Structures are given as structure tokens and as C-alpha cells.
Amino acid sequence: MRRRRATDRGKADGPGAGCVGEAEGLVPTGAKGGGSGPGGSPGSPASDPEPPAGSDGPSASADGETTGSERRHGLRALSLRGGFYLMGREGSGIIVRLVGVLLITRAIGPYNYGIYAAAVAFVTLLASVAQLGIDVRLISDSEQPSDRAYNVAFTLLLVASGLAVGIGAGGAFVVTSVSHAPTYVPAFLVLLLSIPLNICWAPAQARIERKFRYRRMAYLELGGDIALYGTSVPLALAGFGYWAPTMGFVVWQGFLFVGSIVAAGVAPRLAWDRDEVRRLLHFGRGYGLTAAIINLGGLVNPLVVGHFVGPAGVGYVALGQRLASTLAFMNRAVGRLALVALGRVQNDLVRLSRGVEETMALQVVALGPLLSGFAVVSSFAVPALFGHKWTPVVDLYPYLAFGDLLMAVFLVPQAVLYAKGRNGAVVAKQALNLLVLAVGALWLVPTLGITGYGIAFVASSIPFIIVYLAASRIVPIRYSRTGPWLLAFSPPMFFALPPWPWRLFLLAPLALIGIVPRMRRDLQLYARMAWTMLRGGHPALLDGGTGDQP
């Protein structure tokens, strides 16, 4: 039974984070990353979110609570500094990842990319179940985990990953024995080897992120990008087809595993404690189930689209998802930071409500221009960059981008539920999300092709209402600040669909930015925050705060 403390404690890492996030550029949605390399994450603005004097993170007391930097600059300052650092790394990583995926997809084509995407979808599901939510537990625990707790978590993950590999290999053997082997089975069997690497670096990641050491994570993830594309691109150009991204994925996971241990400065050891295992599994049941349901949604593409459209259709959807999620880079930054910051103020409803409202608005302000901007140019950018064989992605992208923007709005209320341990509502939301996506795809894909998948993807956002209602019972959540931004950026995402000149009318809502006074003030505030961060200042003081605001 862990002690409860009077002061607020830290939480971290949201649902897409951890060790089973997404392999940027190479993985459809979901395969490793959470705090991870190409799997998604932040470059580096000029300012360093980590405290000076070589501390590399907020100083900690004996019990693990931050006292030095958090007291000097305030939680809001640390959160925003870390957030801008993560966003800077994610933003600069967009170029690396887009160039990498461009070279790979042009070289191997939709068919081979679809085979790889299907294999990754199944491996991601196994990894998400085997991870048991332990990464989130370690990062979001209100008390600093002991070294023994980290080692027990590592041992438990090692056992779980071994079971996942065995189940995956056994399942593949059964499938190939009773029927014609799917085209993705060989790649799937090789990718199985990455599961222990994929999830066993969670304890090291937790050590780094609990101390807000995002500079180390940024360097680690940049190295992961280089390992991923440094392996995949040459193999793709040499004609290795789907084996190119497959081998790149395995090398990437190996780099992240070794690099995270080096960055954490502590090597994992084998240890076992029945009480600690029970505590980890108690939390992991809800979160692990949620992660499994999320990644079951990833199977809709290979199973439904693959059945009705074929491997090339799977490739189109995978590339569309990759483009949208890469441009929606801030989702990962916020997912990794929200539980840390919101968890520390979870018992102060005023600060918690203000933090939720501010973060939701910042999400849309940051993502809207990127997602809608690419949509405006996609009709000529996709054929020019990726080749004319990828043109079907143009009609699919608007739906995926709009769905990702809606998801961004609800990520923060979802982080509140995780911080409070209210996983039930998130599980219910994910189950309905999967149901709507699967049923919608089965209904629409046979007649509309991959566009039917896009429509089903947007419809699957409806269950997020469950998250909003559940989080509203904990803290008041207002969308008056976020709504106008959502209204301004959503219509331009569908710019490429109607004919000229009607598509120009979809740009009209952008005028709201200049008309609504609150939107102008928010834009000026966020611009000042970014500029102050680049100059090494503390954004918590920009709006007259004390440095102690969320």
C-alpha cells in the first residue's frame, strides 16, 4: 500500500507514449516510440529545458520529488520549457522523417509498404499487450520508484516480451499450417525479434522522463531516427522491398534499448518482488487493455482494407496515417508531458482546469496550420514528392488529418483521467472507438475504397465524448478557448476534395483568427512564449504569473 502525500506528485506520459508509440515514417500507427526515436519525438530550441549547472534535469530530493528547478522556475515554466524542447525536436524531426519515408516509399512502392505496414500492425498489438502499462506506471507514479522497483519492472517486461514472441511465432505457425500464408508473415516473424527491445527500455525511459531530462531523450530519439533511416533507406534503394523498413525497424529498436540505458546511467538488473509485481499488474490491467484495444484498431487496415483493396490499399492508408501523425507531432509531446505536469497539480482544481484549457488550445494552434497547410498543397505535393502511384493518398489524407486534430483536443482530458487512475472511461472509449472504426470500415470500404476507411476513422472520434464527460466530473473543462481554433483549421483540411473554385470557400474560416479578439491574444501569447523560450527565458512569467502556475 503506497503512502499518499500531501503535496502534488508527478505523472507522465500519456497513452500513445511509452515504448509502444509509433515508428515515425516507417510504422503505420502504433509501434514504438512513446518516448522514442523515430517513434515519435522532439530537436532542440536554443534554450535547454533542463536546469543549468550540469544537472540535466530538475533537482530531486531524497524521495525523488523535484525541489530545485521546480521551486526556482515553477512547474509551468518547467513544463513549457520541456514542452517547447519536445516540440522543437519533433518539429525538426519532421524533415528527417518525411525525407526518410519519401525515399523509402518511392523506392518500394505501395504494395511492399503495405506488406510491411501489415506486419508492424500485428507486432505492435503484441508489444502493447506485453508492455502491461508498466511504462506509464513508472513514469506517472506519485512517488519516486526505487531502484529495485525499476529492476522488477524490467524483469517482468522481459518475461512478458518472451511470452509475446512465443505467442506470435506460434500463431504464425498455425496460420501458415492451415491456410495459404499471408504475404506479411516473413516480415512479421523478423519483427517479432524487436518486441523485447521495444518494451524493455521502459524503465530506463521512466528514469529519464521523471526528471524532465528531455534533452537526453531528444538526443536519444534523434539517434534513433538516424539508425532507422540509415538502415532502411540504403536497403530500399538497393531493391530489398519490404525487407528494407523491416530491418531498419529492428536496428532502430536495438539502438533505443542500448541508448536509453546509457542515457539513464543505470544498467537494468534482474529482480523479483511479488508485491511489486502485483502492484504493477494491478495498474497495468486497465492501461494494458486500453493499449491493446488501441492497437487492435491498427488491424482494421490490414484485415479490412487488405481484404477488399489489397496490399497496395494497406500501403495507401499507412502512408496517409504516417503523413498525418508526423505533422501532428505535438500529440506525442503533449502526451508525454501532460501527465507529468497535470499530475503534480491534480489536487488543485483551479490550476488543473487552467492547465487543461491552455494545453488543449495550444494543441490546436500548433497542429492546425501544419495539418491544414499540407492538405492545401497535397494535390500536387504528394505526386511530386512520392510519385504518381501514391496519388490516392490525396483523397484519404483530409479525413485522417481531421481525425488526428480531434484526437489532439481530447488527449488532455484523457491525461487527466490517467493521472487520477480513472482508466475505466478510457477503456470504454477505446472499445467503442474500435467498434465504430471496424464496423464503419466493413460497411464503407467495399464501396468507397480507402476513402471509406477515412470516413470511418473520423466517425471513430465520436466516443471521445465519454472521455470528456468522465474528465468533467473531476475538473471543469471548457472548450470556449479551443472551439474557435478548431472551427478555423478544420475546413481547410478538405481543400483538395471539391473542384475549383469551390475549394477556396474552405479557406474562409481562417479569417476567424483575425476577427476574434481572444484568438489574436492567444496567438500573441504563444508567440511570446516560444520567443522567450528560444532566448532562454521562463514562459511562466509572461502572463504575470508567479512561475508556479500550471
Residue pair 506/492 in contact (Cβ under 8 Å)? The answer is: yes
pLDDT of 408 reads: 82
pLDDT of 451 reads: 95
Report the distance separating Cα 81 and Cα 214, nearest Å.
10
* pLDDT for 349 beyond 90: no
- Mean pLDDT of the 9-34 span: 37
How confident is residue 193, by pLDDT bands cut at 50, 70 and 90?
very high
* pLDDT for 175 beyond 70: yes
How confident is residue 347, by pLDDT bands cut at 50, 70 and 90?
low
pLDDT of 95 reads: 77
pLDDT of 350 reads: 62
* pLDDT for 89 beyond 70: no
pLDDT of 34 reads: 37
| 490 vs 204, higher pLDDT | 490
The answer to which of 229-238, 247-256, 377-386, 532-541 has the lowest mean pLDDT is 532-541
Helix, strand, or coil (residue 545): coil
Tens digits of residue pLDDT in 106-151: 999 999 999 999 999 999 999 988 888 777 777 666 677 788 888 8
- Mean pLDDT of the 305-316 span: 94
Residue pair 493/372 in contact (Cβ under 8 Å)? The answer is: yes
Report the distance separating Cα 456 and Cα 436, nearest Å.
7
pLDDT of 400 reads: 95
* pLDDT for 44 beyond 60: no
Please report, in angstroms and rounded to a whole number, the separation of the first and last CA atoms in the chain: 29
> What b/e string do you get for 82-117 counting C-beta neighbours within 10 Å, with b at 16 or more?
bbbbbbbbbbbbbebbbebbbbbbebbbbbbbbbbb
Residue type, 13: D
Cα within 13 Å of Cα(150), Cβ side = 22
Mean pLDDT of the chain: 76
In this structure, is residue 20 part of a structural domain? no
Segment of 43-57, 226-240, 252-266 carrying the highest mean pLDDT? 226-240
pLDDT of 84 reads: 55
**pTM of the prediction?**
0.74
Helix, strand, or coil (residue 60): strand
The answer to which of 157-161, 227-231, 417-421, 503-507 has the lowest mean pLDDT is 417-421
Q: What is the dihedral of CA 233, 234, 240, 245, to 10 degrees?
A: -30
* pLDDT for 8 beyond 50: no
- Mean pLDDT of the 406-418 span: 80
Q: How many domains does the chain have?
A: 1
In this structure, is residue 5 part of a structural domain? no
> Which residues partner with 66 through β-bridges?
60
* pLDDT for 289 beyond 50: yes
Crossing angle (nearest 10°) for helices 330-344 and 202-210? 60
* pLDDT for 23 beyond 50: no
Q: What secondary structure, in 3-state letters, does 30-51 show?
A: CCCCCCCCCCCCCCCCCCCCCC
How confident is residue 236, by pLDDT bands cut at 50, 70 and 90?
very high
Query: Which long-range CB contacts under 8 A does 186-189 form with residues at least 24 apart?
Result: 187/115, 187/116, 187/119, 187/242, 187/243, 187/246, 188/118, 188/119, 188/122, 188/123
Residue pair 215/208 in contact (Cβ under 8 Å)? The answer is: no
How confident is residue 511, by pLDDT bands cut at 50, 70 and 90?
confident
- For residue 139, which of 84, 201, 74, 52 has the smallest C-alpha distance? 201
- Which positions ≥6 away from 314 have C-beta within 8 Å? 114, 115, 117, 118, 301, 302, 305, 306
How confident is residue 19, by pLDDT bands cut at 50, 70 and 90?
very low
**Rounded percentage of the chain residues whose pLDDT exceeds 90:** 33
In this structure, is residue 280 part of a structural domain? yes
- Mean pLDDT of the 292-316 span: 90
| 525 vs 538, higher pLDDT | 525
pLDDT of 36 reads: 34
pLDDT of 25 reads: 41
In this structure, is residue 41 part of a structural domain? no
- Mean pLDDT of the 15-40 span: 37
* pLDDT for 71 beyond 60: no
In this structure, is residue 62 part of a structural domain? no
| 346 vs 403, higher pLDDT | 403
Report the distance separating Cα 292 and Cα 32, nearest Å.
13
Report the distance separating Cα 80 and Cα 456, nearest Å.
35
The parent domain of residue 261 ranges over: 68-541
pLDDT of 470 reads: 86
pLDDT of 273 reads: 84
For 366-430, give the DSSP string.
HHHHHHHHHHHHHHHHHHHHH-GGGTTHHHHHHHHHHHHHHHHHHHHHHHHHHHTT-HHHHHHHH
- Mean pLDDT of the 497-515 span: 89
C-alpha cell at 440: 464503419
- For residue 538, which of 69, 30, 86, 167 has the smallest C-alpha distance? 69
CA distances to 119, 158, 177, 184, 188 from 172, in Å: 11, 21, 8, 10, 8
C-alpha cell at 25: 515514417
**Rounded percentage of the chain residues whose pLDDT exceeds 70:** 70
pLDDT of 345 reads: 46
* pLDDT for 412 beyond 90: no
| 412 vs 89, higher pLDDT | 412
Residue pair 444/452 in contact (Cβ under 8 Å)? The answer is: yes
* pLDDT for 342 beyond 60: no
Report the distance separating Cα 419 and Cα 355, nearest Å.
13
In this structure, is residue 33 part of a structural domain? no
Report the distance separating Cα 432 and Cα 428, nearest Å.
6
| 531 vs 515, higher pLDDT | 515
| 7 vs 450, higher pLDDT | 450
Report the distance separating Cα 321 and Cα 396, nearest Å.
9
In this structure, is residue 30 part of a structural domain? no
In this structure, is residue 50 part of a structural domain? no
* pLDDT for 357 beyond 80: no
pLDDT of 210 reads: 72
